[in-house]
Amino acid sequence: MGDVTVAVGGRNYRLACRDGEEAALARAARHLDEQAARIVRALGPTPEPRLLLMAGLQVAGELLERGPPAPAPAERLVRVVQRLERLAQQLEDLAGKADGLEGTPRAS
């Protein structure tokens, strides 16, 4: 389990994350901090809970404007593999039926 210390709104937070996700978490925290800084520049000093709420809503709004997130490459790969497995099974089933027909006399 990894952990990252991030700064948002002038405060440091130590957060746990899965191994390998440290850089992504740090990037997300920097983006949230940028939003918080914009709010402080526009409104002046803002209580921390309100600042984090407003910054979080800004980020959520950005995400909603982009639409639903695209599946991660690993998720797409899993779906492709599952589809290929289904196709392989169908081909095997068809081959089995064809083998069963080889010894059967054909109607004339």
Structural domain that includes position 61: 1-69
pLDDT per position as a tens digit, 34-49:
999 999 999 999 998 9
For residues 63 and 77, state if they share a domain: no
Cα separations (Å) of 13 from 3, 6, 25, 48?
A: 10, 5, 12, 13
- Is the whole model's pTM more than 0.75, yes or no? no
For residues 22 and 61, state if they share a domain: yes
Contact between residue 17 and residue 25 where contact means Cβ atoms under 8 Å apart: yes
- Domain count within the chain: 2
pLDDT per position as a tens digit, 81-106:
888 888 888 888 888 877 776 655 55
What angle do helix axes 48-66 and 22-43 make, rounded to 10 degrees?
110
